[in-house]
Homo-oligomer: A and B are copies of this chain.
Amino acid sequence: MHCPPYCHNKEIHDECGVFGVHNHPEASTLTHLGLYALQHRGQETAGIVSSDGSSKFNVHRQSGLVADIFRQKVLKKLKGHVAIGHVRYSTTGSSVSCNAQPIVAGYWDGEIAVAHNGNITNAQKLRQDLERDGAIFNTTMDTELLIHLIARMRNCGFAEAFVESMRKFQGAFSMLGVKGDTLIIARDPRGFRPLVLGRKDDAWIVASETCAFDIIDAKYERDVEPGEVIVINNEGMTSFFPFVHMQPKLCVFEYVYVARPDSIINNQSVYRKRYKSGRALAQESPVEADLVVPIPDSSNVAALGYSHESGIPYQLGLIRSHYVGRTFIEPDQKIRDFGVKIKHNAVAPMLRDKRVILIDDSIVRGTTSRKIVKMVREQGGAKEVHVRVASPPWKHPCFFGIDTPNQEELIGSRMNVEETA
């Protein structure tokens, strides 16, 4: 399988959240709550664009957390019965707020707004082509490409232009677009990123995960299918499959640590997936020990599965702080494992002289794991520390998506880190 080079780049690796409402008098308030429930998918910027069907959008985008940004005063201005929203995760830092979504732009047919979760793998090529054709770019976001492509389709309506443009994209996209009071929803043919469809009263709701439906009492209808485009306007809802068919491959990391465990994506419970992967891991990589301890919070459920399957007791031997800020000043008299301690602390009375199986969600962050192992051993006093990883190792340069039918077998670590005091 061909694996695009950007896949290793955490900076581009995009775990955003999107949310959309069509036909609800309080569209932006619902979007606010939906984005709040999707906050785990992006803590850097948040934005809402609302529309009352006229040519002019209401826009608010800002860096910060959803609960801080959308106070009553802001929401009051976001009038309209159609709205889309976006939360953005990024490790870049520099170009923070200028890259906030949804993007809004004007073209020959009016204004459009677009919110995107994913990565366009042929973005550079498309951008070069567009620049060669005279296009100018104001951001480094792939999303801007879509608007350029739409603006260049001069003989067709919004929905057609949207679809025709998206057909040029390769890679991952869960994309929402608004023009007037038309809402378009598109998911790439492989379905790399999740996208679910729901209803609240007479309104259609779309979101990255179902946890955003729960908070607003919306009913989960179904997943937006891989390769599906849905157009919702005042005449109703139309669905079609304009892209070349491909084998679906939801990004495995959605189940491993991106999505919230209380979400259902691709018709499967994230919690149950994680739990089962923990059980599978216990079968594949058993080890004699006294305790199973998760690295909180993303490994909590898998560790529970490991414990139940192996019969080895589960203990919350690491405590996580939820008040982590941007920077911490370390004293000149260096603190051991400073970076790790900011987020986690060992519960020594439970770990002392014990043989501990530490469950990690993935080995993306190898140095962090190593420091935590050290903390569990030295500060916690564990006699032995065994690490088990609840997701497949990086054998291939990229494992962006995996075949769902075979997923169960793959889940489980073939890598086996043993560390003994």
Contact = CB atoms under 8 A, between A and B. Distances in A.
Interface of A: 25-26, 29-30, 32-33, 36-37, 39-40, 43, 65-68, 70-72, 75, 104-108, 128, 131-138, 147-148, 151-152, 154, 200-201, 211, 214-217, 260-262, 264, 269, 271-272, 275, 300-301, 304, 308, 313-316, 319, 321-333, 335-336, 341-342, 345-350, 379
Contact of A215 (B75, B137, B275, B345): B345
Nearest to A215: B341
B349 A67 contact: no
Contact of A349 (B216, B272, B314, B319): B272
Contacts of A68: 325
B106 A321 contact: no
Nearest to A308: B313
Contacts of A148: 134, 136
Given A108-B131, A262-B345, A272-B350, A67 B328 contact: yes
Name the 9 nearest CB pairs between A and B, nearest first: A67-B325, A134-B152, A269-B349, A108-B131, A322-B322, A262-B319, A26-B331, A106-B137, A105-B136
B105 A132 contact: no
A323 B36 contact: yes
A147 B152 contact: no
A327 B301 CA distance: 30
Interface of A is mostly: mixed
B304 A315 contact: yes
Given A33-B331, A269-B349, A304-B315, 16 more contacts: A25-B332, A40-B323, A67-B324, A72-B327, A105-B136, A107-B137, A108-B128, A108-B132, A132-B154, A200-B333, A214-B379, A215-B345, A217-B336, A260-B319, A264-B349, A271-B347
11 contacts: A29-B329, A32-B329, A33-B328, A68-B325, A75-B329, A106-B138, A108-B128, A108-B134, A131-B151, A214-B341, A271-B316
A335 B215 contact: yes
A316 B303 CA distance: 11
A201 B108 contact: no
Nearest to A301: B316
B106 A136 contact: yes
Nearest to A335: B217
A148 B260 CA distance: 43
Nearest to A315: B304
A29 B332 CA distance: 10
Contacts of A211: 319, 345
A140 to B, nearest CB: 8
A71 B214 contact: no
A59 to B, nearest CB: 9
A128 to B, nearest CB: 8
Contacts of A154: 132, 134
Contacts of A108: 128, 131-132, 134
Nearest to A112: B136
A59 B137 CA distance: 15
A266 to B, nearest CB: 13
Nearest to A127: B106
A345 B135 contact: no
Contacts of A326: 67
Given A68-B325, A107-B135, A323-B67, A316 B304 contact: yes
A39 B323 contact: yes
A227 to B, nearest CB: 26
Contacts of A269: 347, 349-350
A385 B278 CA distance: 26
Nearest to A70: B329
A222 B343 CA distance: 25
A197 B275 CA distance: 41
Contacts of A71: 327
Contact of A271 (B104, B134, B217, B350): B350
Which of A260, A322, A329, A335 counts the most chain B CB atoms within 10 A?
A329
